Amino acid sequence: MAVLPDVADAVALRRLRADAAGWLPTAHDIVRSRGYGVARLTPFAAGTNLVAALGDGAILKIFPPFLRAQFLSERATLGVVFRRLPDVATPELLHEGERDGWFYLIMTRLDGVPASDIWPRLAEPEKQHLLRQVGRVIADVQRVPPGELLMLGPSWSDFLQAQVRGCHDRHERLGLPPPLLAGLDDLLQEAGGLLPRDPDPVILTGEYIPENFLVTRGSDGWRVSGLFDFGDVMTGFGAYDLLGPSAFMAAGHRGRVRALFEGYGLTPTDVTWQLKRRLLALMLLHRASDPVRHICIPDWPSKVRSFDELQTLVWPD
């Protein structure tokens, strides 16, 4: 029987993921134990965990011991959101289990292509059309009762405190431009009065980016058809999930920003300076925050000297 090796961190996991011969034999054992026989397994190169297509209709996802929290988050979210979204599909959880201290899920495979495959070549009206849908999907997910996700943690308050504590060191390490780094502590102090500590918690994926949703083409153009990858889900303040599409997709384009906000359900009078300031603070506190690399505005660090200017650049009026 094939055995999965010990991996202690993300670097070791990436090495293993790149060496399919090191984990596919175990993956085959897992799917055989679940009654799939000698089904074809096709590894995916991208992602964090070990992921393979199981034939044409299912996905196998294997989590190392040190990412057990991701396994718990994904398992719970699949159960909570399945068939609860009006226009978008999410995978159905078929099997779960443990092998060699690792954890695995087998789920249905969704139809569609990753939005990242088509986003760069879309015309501007198509990008706005898709962003309006993304905003609507975020709002639909946040209307689903979080259920057992509330028990997984961290609480929103604990999350914010942890992110604030490590924020300055993180952005100094990641190369935030010096004028912004110099003002970061003041912004964080300001954020303490802007961000709610105990909001009504909603489901947050933190990752509404083109790599994490699927699209299909219909008579009216491309539409969002599927959501997947829920390993980083938590609960908290809803505006947090506007950050991914703001940075990666809207990218400072006025029409795209408006489309995203409209889809989410915000009226022009809702889009205040205070809302944008909250978004700016959350962008610096996001679990995956790396503005230098994630704000997809060409050469943006040369265009701003303050957080006020960055806020206007990312969310123009």
Contacts of 159 (CB under 8 A, 6+ apart): 234, 236, 287
Q: Which amino acid is at 178?
A: P
Q: Scanning the structure block, which residue is given the tokens 């879309």?
A: 122
What's residue 104's pLDDT?
98
Strands lying side by side in the sheet with 102-108: 41-43, 50-54, 58-63, 102-108, 93-99
What's residue 17's pLDDT?
94
Record the tokens describing residue 82, joined without a space: 């399945």
Task: Compute the chain's Rg from CA coordinates.
Answer: 20
What's residue 129's pLDDT?
97
Positions of CATH 3.30.200.20 in the chain? 10-108
Positions of CATH 3.90.1200.10 in the chain? 113-314
Q: Scanning the structure block, which residue is given the tokens 């011969």?
A: 21
Report d(CA 71, CA 96) in Å as an integer: 10
Phi-psi bin for 236: left (phi > 0), alpha (psi -120 to 50), beta? left
Report d(CA 4, CA 24) in Å as an integer: 9
- Would you write out the chain's pLDDT as a tens digit for each of its 317 residues? 678 989 999 999 999 999 999 999 999 999 999 999 878 899 998 889 999 999 889 999 999 999 999 999 999 999 999 999 999 999 999 999 999 999 999 999 999 999 999 999 999 999 999 999 999 999 999 999 999 999 998 999 999 999 999 999 999 999 999 999 999 999 999 988 999 999 999 999 988 999 999 999 988 899 999 999 999 999 999 999 999 999 999 999 999 999 999 999 999 999 999 999 999 999 999 999 999 999 999 999 999 999 999 999 999 98
What's residue 1's pLDDT?
67
Q: Where are the beta strands (DSSP E) in the chain?
A: 41-43, 50-54, 58-63, 93-99, 102-108, 113-114, 202-204, 213-218, 221-227, 234-236
Q: Which CATH architecture does the domain made up of 113-314 adopt?
A: Alpha-Beta Complex (3.90)
Q: Which CATH architecture does the domain made up of 10-108 adopt?
A: 2-Layer Sandwich (3.30)
Report d(CA 114, CA 129) in Å as an integer: 16
What's residue 192's pLDDT?
87
Under a CB-based contact definition with an 8 Å cutoff, are residues 180 and 125 in contact? no
